[in-house]
Each structure stands twice: as C-alpha cells, then as structure tokens.
Amino acid sequence: MLRGINYSQKCWRGFTPRWSSTPLSGEGARLYEGRWNPKGMEALYLAENFSTAYKEYQNELPDHPCLILSYQVCIDGIVDFCNEEVRERANISLRTMYCEWKYIFLVEKKDPPTWEIVRNLYDDGVAGIRVPSTRDIGGVNIVLWRWNDHPSRVVTYSDPRRDLPKDQSSFE
C-alpha cells in the first residue's frame, strides 16, 4: 500500500460555464470517465497552475467557453506519481501513465491500465493523486476521488464577489 502525502496548495480548474453553479462537483467525470477515473466514479481534476488548467480543458473542448476557477486544496492522502521513487514502488511507468486511454477504452473495448491503478488506490482509501500533465509539458495535475468528506480533505473555491450562479436557471 502506498502512503499518501499531505497536500496543501492553490490549484486551478477549467470547466464549462454551464456547470459554474456546481464548482465542487465531480459529476462530469463520473458521467464521461477520464484518464484517472472509470465511468461511474466521481473525480475532481485540478491543475497546479492556470496555464495547465487551460490546456487540459482546451484539449477536451477546443474553442468552447472556459471558466477557470482557483481552488485551495488541503488534503491528506495524495499519492505523488510525479515522484519517480513513488512510481517505482508502485511499479507504474510513465508509459502507463501516458497511455492512450481513450483508444484502449473506445476502440479496444478494454479498461485502460490507469483505471486499475485508480481502483487499487481508491480501495486503499487514497484521496487522490498528483500526476504529470499529458497536455502541458512540466505541468502537474491533481485528481481527487475523495474531497470534502472528512476534516483532513478540504477543497474550497474562490468566488469573493459571488459571481458564480447559484443554480442552472441562468442557462435555461
């Protein structure tokens, strides 16, 4: 079992403005899966810097409007796969982390190897992972499966002027 670190940092997330009333939701990832979450598993994908958040978003939804929001993350139980020693202990290669997960899932009709990693970590109680971005060289992403469910796993977002809508009615 891998031990997670205590992670405390400002992060960023790019998402469709339509969902701006639920900035702490992992529902989109649950509905449509991702590199680090199989369909049915909520996940909150964040980036350690603004430009990485933007590049990750534009990869999935190029030319779509993008809202980028800052978050404060204070979470115990993050496995840092940016750390080579941690990857070696987990027997996870960069090749596996950068696999063509969509091709494997959609064309080969198999679960990508990243999902097996996720399932094992989730079953061990890990809150999330820190991983290199596949869209921004040098960028880092944080993927959370557990947040705001325990005092040691807190994620908040910044909206000091209360500009975000309270519900979906403004998009109907």
Q: Over the stretch 16-41, which tens digit does the pLDDT of each residue have?
A: 888 899 999 999 899 999 999 999 99
Q: Please write the tens of the pLDDT for every residue from 105-147.
A: 999 999 999 999 999 999 999 999 999 999 999 999 999 999 9
Predicted model pTM: 0.94
In which element (H, E) is residue 85 found?
Answer: helix 84-90
Q: What is the DSSP letter of 13?
A: E
Nearest-angstrom CA–CA distance, 76 and 105: 31
Nearest-angstrom CA–CA distance, 19 and 28: 9
156 to each of 37, 44, 123, how far by Cα in Å?
A: 21, 12, 25
